[in-house]
Chain A
């Protein structure tokens, strides 16, 4: 084989490849999630560890925690931990789609309920996708929306009763929660509370 023949074979048999469908979008999402992590690098793992430690304390202290307030606080911690976990590379969504008709059926057979999946403002708060999460001793549906660089997690599961909109702030994250029409809903994001409320109103 002459060097030219080898060149030709290298060219023909070692083609440049195209990144598979979805990789570009996955990388973009990961970059976005990473870029919006506060004091990136150290803070979030530290926060996750702190929350994990807090949860451990909360769980070991569960015997004493009977009041509604404490349960709420514990759930709020779990919701925030779920949000932070979701921002780690590769954890945000299991089904990636901006179409409610793709996201809603994806939960079929994975949870024993069909979560309400809305996309009320696709321009300002686009739906990104969904995933399963484990919260408060049960599997819940997580719906992921986006506002500019901010990721919004909506955690939802069936729950009876009615409770009007509540709000908590923790380490710069806002959590909104309510119970209505047989669903308990928690919305969590580092987005400012005003815009998050606007998002939750239309959900």
Chain B
């Protein structure tokens, strides 16, 4: 890669590093994983910089970070389930745990958000924190715009329910 290309890439992508970290932090719920994901995402972004055809650079960076986080989170789940399978456990303990977790009441939106499934969490972060448009979010999560809007409103409703139940 030419020095001038690197400079161009840095000028476009680096201003969105805070936003990238914010997204990764909320999606992965772990500061170290978030940092790793951001670094990996930026390396990927540079690799595919040649195929970047203009458009909002923030949405472009968000898309790559989001995909990186998804990959990371999926591989983490796989690692976890392997660990879990190796332990002796009753048949229904996994789903029971998940249900218990989801119905748990929380006092803060932040805690409530951490309980939401990734599909809901990502649209909420992209919309409410990053302020992207429905169309941009639809492009990023590769879902129709109607699906994005419905996930957003269902996600918001679940957050509200969780914090209401957890009100001190």
Chain A residues at the B interface, C-beta cutoff of 8 Å: 1, 3, 6-7, 9-11, 13-20, 23-24, 26-28, 30-32, 34-36, 40-41, 89-90, 148-149
Contact = CB atoms under 8 A, between A and B. Distances in A.
Contacts of A23: 17, 21, 35, 38-39
Contact of A31 (B6, B19, B26): B6
Contacts of A7: 128
B85 interface: no
A36 B106 CA distance: 48
Of the listed residues B3, B9, B164, the one surrounded by the most CB atoms of chain A closer than 10 A to its CB is B3
A180 B94 CA distance: 64
B129 to A, nearest CB: 6
Q: What 5 A-B pairs are tightest by C-beta distance, nearest first?
A: A13-B109, A19-B21, A35-B1, A17-B22, A35-B6
Interface string B1-31: 1010110011000100111111001100001
25 contacts: A6-B160, A7-B128, A9-B109, A9-B163, A10-B128, A10-B156, A13-B108, A13-B109, A14-B110, A14-B128, A17-B25, A19-B18, A20-B31, A23-B17, A24-B14, A26-B39, A27-B14, A27-B17, A28-B14, A30-B42, A31-B10, A35-B1, A36-B1, A89-B43, A149-B6
A11 to B, nearest CB: 7
Contacts of A35: 1, 3, 5-6, 46
A78 to B, nearest CB: 26
A27 B160 contact: no
Interface residues of B, number: 38
Nearest to A17: B22
B157 to A, nearest CB: 9
Interface in B109-153: 109-110, 113, 124-125, 128-130
Given A6-B156, A6-B160, A14-B26, A28 B21 contact: no
A89 B27 CA distance: 22
Given A14-B26, A14-B109, A16-B19, A32 B14 contact: no
Interface of B: 1, 3, 5-6, 9-10, 14, 17-22, 25-26, 31, 35, 38-40, 42-43, 46-47, 108-110, 113, 124-125, 128-130, 156, 159-160, 163-164
B166 to A, nearest CB: 13
B154 to A, nearest CB: 13
A16 B132 CA distance: 13
A17 B160 CA distance: 22
B9 A31 contact: yes
